[in-house]
Amino acid sequence: MDKYKIFDPQATFQVAEILLYWKQGFPKKDALISTLDLNRSHDGGWISQVAAPPTPKATYYALSILNSINAKPTHAAEIDLCIKEWLNKLHDDSKSITLSEQLIKNESLYYTIKSAELRKIDIDSKIINDILVQNTAMEIWDRPETPISVITHFVKLYRKYQGVLPGNLEEKFTKRVVEALNNKKPESESGLNPAVVLDALQLSQELNNDKLDNKSIKIALGQMQSFSVNQGTFKRNTKVSIADILATYYAHETYELANEKLNSNNLKDFLNGAVNPLGGFYLYPRGKVETNDLTLETTYMGIMLAKSQ
């Protein structure tokens, strides 16, 4: 597969002029129009280049969005090949790597496998098992700064493909859950946010054979309420006043995991305010902030929240 290429409007214009001069039609016109839309700036006009390689995480969210609206991706064969290549690269890349690379490798593995599952790609479980065994020896599991989401994703994959966690890792991960759910430090020091609360509860469930104890649920819901803005909407930390799509999604997932009812009377109005008229969901309701993110992740979570209504 070719490496990703940079789309350059100026070069494309020059090619279009040549084709027009020779009275030749432009190939893949619909694809060109889609690419031009991608290069649009939210402030109006266009940007000169879009240069970003595909990533497992972005691919997972894009496929999840398509799946949620019962649509199929174009160029599916290329997507499947890309996913297989990611997995093979993760398997072959077994050399000693830095802590940041270890984090990236674990997250890439998780989203690559999740993407493969969405595409129903038949992948060799031995490759996955080999990678998981390699990853058990990583230094990141001993580091308190390792995001609990990375641990949760690793445990989910390990339990599915390998079974019981090694005892030393289970002990370390259980300690992280207890620390997260019983954190007494100020928010600025603990890094507590809605995503961490959800991840800690999910990890607790994974480590306890898919069961949740009432104490963990009560603590998690109490923590989540500190981020509540209005009935059904939530913010990323206690210092801001505006609810956002991500925090709200994490909160709703937490309540669903705990099998608890959440008063969400204002969620519909919140989502309507965050809709991009051209498609997708912004991070914040329109007009609330000067710059607003519109990503695959915010769109996916907006769709999931809308479908829950």
Q: What is the pLDDT of residue 17?
A: 64
Q: What is the pLDDT of residue 1?
A: 42
pLDDT at 205 over 70: yes
Q: What is the pLDDT of residue 269?
A: 95
Instruction: Please tell me the distance from the alpha carbon of residue 78 to that of residue 207, in angstroms, as a whole number.
Output: 37
Lowest model confidence (mean pLDDT) among 16-25, 37-46, 52-61, 153-162: 37-46
What residues does each domain of the chain span? Answer: 1-53, 54-163, 204-309
| pLDDT digits 0-9 by tens, 120-132 | 999 888 999 999 9
Instruction: Please tell me the distance from the alpha carbon of residue 264 to that of residue 252, in angstroms, as a whole number.
Output: 9
Which token pair is 145?
């700064």
Asked if residue 119 lies in contact with residue 79, where contact means CB atoms within 8 angstroms, the answer is yes
Instruction: Please tell me the distance from the alpha carbon of residue 169 to that of residue 171, in angstroms, as a whole number.
Output: 5
Q: What is the pLDDT of residue 301?
A: 96
Q: What is the mean pLDDT of residues 96-102?
A: 83
Higher pLDDT, 17 or 299: 299
SS (H, E, C) the chain: CCCCCCECHHHHHHHHHHHHHCCCCCCCHHHHHHHHHHCECCCCCECCCECCCCCHHHHHHHHHHHHHCCCCCCCHHHHHHHHHHHHHHHHHCCCCCCHHHHHHHHHHHHHHHHHHHHHCCCCCHHHHHHHHHHHCCCHHHHCCCCCHHHHHHHHHHHHHHCCCCCHHHHHHHHHHHHHHHCCCCCHHHHCCCHHHHHHHHHHHHHHCCCCCCHHHHHHHHHHHHCCEEECCEECCCCCCCCCCHHHHHHHHHHHHHCCCCCCCCCHHHHHHHHECCCCCEECCCCCCCCCCCECHHHHHHHHHHHHCC
Instruction: Please tell me the distance from the alpha carbon of residue 294 to that of residue 286, in angstroms, as a whole number.
Output: 11
Angle at 69 between CA 51 and CA 252, to 5 degrees: 90
Confidence band, pLDDT 50/70/90 cuts, at residue 14:
low
* Average pLDDT, rounded, for the chain: 86
Q: What is the mean pLDDT of residues 224-243?
A: 94
Which token pair is 229?
């803005």
Asked if residue 49 lies in contact with residue 10, where contact means CB atoms within 8 angstroms, the answer is no
Instruction: Please tell me the distance from the alpha carbon of residue 102 to that of residue 85, in angstroms, as a whole number.
Output: 19
| pLDDT digits 0-9 by tens, 64-75 | 999 988 888 888
Confidence band, pLDDT 50/70/90 cuts, at residue 187:
very low
Q: Among the ranges 192-196, 250-254, 278-282, which has the highest mean pLDDT value?
A: 250-254
Asked if residue 304 lies in contact with residue 52, where contact means CB atoms within 8 angstroms, the answer is no
- For residues 21-38, one letter each, b for 16 or more C-beta atoms within 10 angstroms of the residue's C-beta and e for the rest, the string is eeeeeeeeeeeeeeeeee
Q: What is the pLDDT of residue 39?
A: 57
pLDDT at 2 over 70: no
Q: What is the pLDDT of residue 156?
A: 96
Asked if residue 62 lies in contact with residue 297, where contact means CB atoms within 8 angstroms, the answer is no
* % of the chain with per-residue pLDDT over 90: 61
Confidence band, pLDDT 50/70/90 cuts, at residue 155:
very high
Spatial neighbors of 305 by CB under 8 A, at least 6 apart, are 245, 248, 249, 252, 267, 271
Q: What is the pLDDT of residue 171?
A: 95
